[in-house]
Amino acid sequence: MSVVIITWLVVIANNHELPPPEGIMMTTSYYGSEFQGRKMANGERFDPREMVVAHKRLPFETKLLIVNPTNYKRVIATVKDRGPYVAGRNLDVSTGVKKKLGLEMGKKGTAPVEVYILE
């Protein structure tokens, strides 16, 4: 297994045509248990424990790798809803995502995250 990983790293390091992946910094807020059971924009019922997010334009079922830049915890979540609808916010995360990332929401109820679109 380590041989495969090392080989992969060598291939990536020697391929100067591929730029390193860069995340997109976003301001996130979260929505929690008060929305339990409500229909999301994709028609499914919201469960705050699931790894789901809301974004204004990304297609439903888009997989995102979300990284907390303060502690480097990461989670893969799926776009299943629309929002947020507050100016200056780019992403709403479920309580489950918030907890896994260890996000500390400031007085404004937001936190910065780095987002990578996986698929």
Tell me the pLDDT of the chain (119 aa) as tens digits. 433 334 444 444 554 444 456 789 999 999 888 899 999 999 999 999 999 999 999 999 999 999 999 999 999 999 999 999 999 999 999 999 999 999 999 888 999 999 999 97
Residue 113 forms part of a structural domain: yes
DSSP per-residue codes, 44-91: PBP-TTS-EEE-SSSPTT-EEEEE-TTT--EEEEEEEE----STT--E
C-alpha distances (whole Å) from 85 to each of 28, 55, 65, 70, 82 are 11, 9, 22, 25, 8
- Quote the domain boundaries for residue 71: 22-117
Q: Would 86 be classed as within a structural domain?
A: yes
Q: Domain containing 53 — which CATH number?
A: 2.40.40.10
Tokens encoding 86: 């507050």
Q: How many domains, in total, are found in the chain?
A: 1
